């Protein structure tokens, strides 16, 4: 999965870099729209275009039949039943091809979220008087079978990051928590040591502009699809997930903010471009 994410990251770097010269909002809309058109082309190839057209035509025919014979209850009832059956056929013909298309959709949305959904955490130069809960809470979830080793986990903070609470372990559930703050701008590696194995979670703070930000580093294959910017934890690390909360990004003149705003823009733009391309591409949907 890491190799696939590396290739995906490189591809999106190549595509987005020139588009971002006109603004991140423009890049987000254009990539979403291009993907919508590409998905439409693939849909045309893997769907039964003749079947979809025939189902639509038959639905229209049965609707006309209802209109013509509206005073004949028996014929109208039969026509309504046929419409319902044809609608089920039509939905099935459209839904089937969307199942394989959902895989590239997940990859593209994940790339958009980690690139445009978050901003670095704020810098707290003076944190001595900071109240509990006002820092950044790092949550470590240990892998199955490692839960009892929670008290043995060590978090090594780099220069520029300070702890504002002790390390709190919950062995019964396999969780470890610590509250930290960044005291200067930069990109940092938070080091987690368990059983002699060292693992890293990246953290960005202040006015840095990393290519991608993700609030979680994970270990499972499926989770890695959603969080492609960092490699998965090795199996022998004993760590299933490290997470904290990045502030949500401001999408400028686009609606919404943060990950949900990115997903909303992606869906709307891809659908709008796709609808505009339906007739030129001759796609039945």
pLDDT tens per residue, range 157-199: 999 999 998 999 999 999 999 999 999 999 999 999 998 899 9
Could you report the per-residue pLDDT of 216-246, keeping only the tens digit for each? 999 988 888 999 999 999 988 999 999 999 9
CB 190 within 8 A of CB 161: yes
Q: pTM to 2 decimals?
A: 0.84
Q: What CATH architecture is 136-243? A: Sandwich (2.60)
Residue intervals of the chain classified under CATH 2.60.40 are 136-243
Q: Please state, in angstroms and as integers, the Cα–Cα distance from residue 207 to each residue in 17, 42, 182, 190, 192, following that order.
A: 19, 41, 12, 19, 25
Q: How would residue 68 be classed by pLDDT, with cut points 50, 70 and 90? A: confident
Q: What is the pLDDT of residue 80?
A: 78
Contacts of 196 by beta carbon, 8 Å cutoff, 6+ apart: none
Q: Residue 108: is its pLDDT beyond 90?
A: yes
pLDDT of residue 54: 83
- Contact predicate 119/257, CB 8 Å: no
> What does each C-alpha distance from 185 to 34, 94, 115 come to in angstroms?
35, 49, 19
* Euclidean distance between CA atoms 229 and 8, whole angstroms: 10
Average pLDDT, whole number, for the chain?
89
Q: Is the pLDDT of residue 133 over 70?
A: no
Q: Which of 42, 12, 44, 43 lies closest to 28, judged by CA?
A: 12
Longest CA pairwise span in the chain (Å)? 83
Grouping H, G, I as helix, E, B as strand and the rest as coil, residue 136 is: strand
pLDDT for the residue numbered 253: 87
């Amino acid at each position: 999965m890491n190799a696939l994410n590396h290739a995906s990251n490189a591809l999106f770097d190549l595509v987005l870099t020139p588009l971002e010269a006109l603004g991140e909002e423009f890049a987000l809309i254009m990539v979403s729209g291009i993907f919508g058109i590409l998905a439409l082309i693939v849909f045309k190839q893997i769907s039964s275009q003749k079947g979809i057209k025939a189902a639509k035509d038959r639905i229209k025919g049965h609707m006309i039949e209802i209109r013509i014979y509206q005073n004949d209850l028996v014929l109208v009832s039969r026509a309504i039943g046929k419409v319902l059956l044809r609608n089920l056929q039509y939905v099935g013909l459209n839904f089937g091809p969307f199942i394989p298309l959902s895989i590239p959709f997940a990859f593209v949305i994940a790339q958009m979220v980690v690139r445009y959904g978050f901003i670095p955490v704020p810098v707290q130069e003076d944190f001595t008087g900071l109240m509990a809960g006002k820092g950044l809470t790092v949550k470590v979830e240990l892998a199955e079978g490692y839960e009892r080793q929670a008290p043995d986990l060590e978090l090594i903070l780099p220069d520029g990051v300070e702890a504002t609470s002790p390390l709190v372990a919950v062995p019964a559930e396999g969780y470890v928590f610590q509250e930290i703050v960044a005291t200067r701008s930069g990109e940092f590696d938070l080091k987690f040591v368990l059983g002699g194995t060292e693992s890293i979670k990246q953290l960005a703070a202040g006015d840095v502009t990393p290519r991608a930000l993700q609030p979680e580093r994970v270990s499972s294959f499926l989770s890695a699809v959603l969080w492609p910017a960092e490699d998965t934890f090795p199996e022998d690390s004993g760590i299933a997930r490290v997470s904290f909360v990045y502030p949500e990004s401001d999408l400028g003149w686009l609606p919404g903010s943060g990950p949900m705003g990115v997903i909303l823009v992606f869906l709307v733009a891809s659908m709008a471009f796709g609808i505009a391309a339906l007739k030129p591409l001759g796609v039945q949907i």
